[in-house]
Amino acid sequence: MKKTYIYILFGLMVLAQIAASAQIVYKYERTIASDNVYKFKTAPVDPNNPFMGKYIDLDFEINSFETTDSDWNRYDKAYAYFSKDENGYAVLETLSKELLTDSKFDHVIVETYNYYEGKIRFDLPFQTYYMEESKALGAETLYRDNNRNGKEQDVYAVVHIQNGTHVLTDVIINGISIKDAVVK
């Protein structure tokens, strides 16, 4: 290959590598800046990922939608539309197979997994909250211990949503960020 071509290809590769990650950063930073925050009630459990380290898996209360339409397949993509109640908690308004152009609600794309007893069940797309490796298991244990002791718990994920883009920024357990609650 000619040297000029090598230099051009190298330059393009560098730009593509930086742009690929930078556009993800830009997309999420814009969503966070929009300040359109939803609270999703959840419970944490603890697995881990070989590339990204320790995280807690979030088990959300909103995980199904009542519908008479039984024509759903496993792993279908669907659009979940949300509003907020007076305390900022997310309320599922509808689940649609198509993007609704005239909806006033914010949406995220979800993956369905089964239709059973009049409900279509789905997974929300922000189930992963990465934590410092020493804290992930502690987060799950803290939640479980509180449950066992019959404590009333208020656990929710803080999610920014804008134009179908979502960013999970925190998990709050009884008013404290989970990463600080574990230290206590």
Partner 1 sequence: MSSKITRALPELVENGIITDEIAQNIKAFYGNSEESSANRLFTLFGILGATLVGLGIILIMAHNWDDFSRGVKLIFAFLPMLIGQAILGFSIFKEKSSAWKEASTVFLFFGVGACIALVSQIYHVSGDLESFLLAWIVLCVPLMFVTKSTSAVILHLIFITYYAFEAGYGHNTTIPHIYFLLLLLALPSYVRMIKAQTKSHVTSVLHWLFPMSLIFSLPVCIDQSEGVGFLMYVLLFGVFYNIGQLPYFKNKSLLQNGYRTLGSLGTVIILLILSFRDIWKHQFQDVYFDSLEFLCAMILFVIASVLLYFNSKQNALKSMNLFHFVFLLFGVIFMIGLFNDLLPTILINALLFILGVSAIKIGAEKFHFGILNYGMLIIAILIACRFFDTDITYVVRGLLFVFIGGGFFTANYLMLKKQKSKK
Q: How far is the CB of 81 from partner 1 (least distance, A)?
A: 20
Q: Answer positive or negative: Cα dihedral of 59, 168, 109, 54.
A: negative
Site mask for partner 1 (CB under 8 A), range 75-94, x = bound = x-------------------
Is residue 17 part of the contact set for partner 1 (CB under 8 A)? yes
> Whose CA is closest to 182, among 56, 31, 35?
56
Element at 167 (helix H, strand E)? strand 165-173
Contacts (Cβ under 8 Å, ≥6 apart) of 170: 157, 158, 177, 178
**Dist. CA 110–CA 123, nearest whole Å:** 6
Options 66, 69, 133, 154; binder of partner 1; rule CB under 8 A: 133
Q: Pick the binder of partner 1 from 33, 69, 74, 88 (CB under 8 A).
A: 74
- Site residues, partner 1 (CB under 8 A): 1, 6-7, 9-10, 12-14, 16-18, 20-21, 24-25, 28, 49, 51-55, 74-75, 125-133, 135, 167-169, 179
